[in-house]
């Protein structure tokens, strides 16, 4: 049976949040965890954020 690789989505409200999540990214890299880093502002682009999150719910590649 083939082992399926799961991904984790890291959402930030702005690029300036990268300093806050950088250690998480470093740990994911250290342990070989697949991840996707996205910037979506809930205040500026709420529809884009909602669409992305809804897409994640349907995407079986992402850990829930």
Contacts of 5 (CB under 8 A, 6+ apart): 34, 61
Q: What is the pTM of this model?
A: 0.78
Higher pLDDT, 62 or 35: 35
Checking if the pLDDT of 2 tops 70, the result is no
List the chain domain ranges.
Answer: 7-58
pLDDT at site 43: 94
pLDDT digit string (tens) for 9-53?
Answer: 999 999 999 999 999 999 999 999 999 999 999 999 999 999 999
- Scan for tokens 């669409």, then name that residue: 51
- pLDDT bracket for residue 1 (50, 70, 90): low
């Amino acid at each position: 049976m083939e082992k399926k690789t799961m991904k984790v989505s890291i959402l930030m409200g702005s690029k300036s949040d990268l300093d806050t999540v950088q250690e998480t990214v470093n740990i994911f890299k250290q342990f070989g965890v697949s991840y996707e880093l996205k910037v979506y502002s809930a205040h500026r682009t709420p529809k884009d954020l909602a669409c992305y999150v809804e897409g994640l719910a349907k995407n079986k590649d992402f850990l829930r």
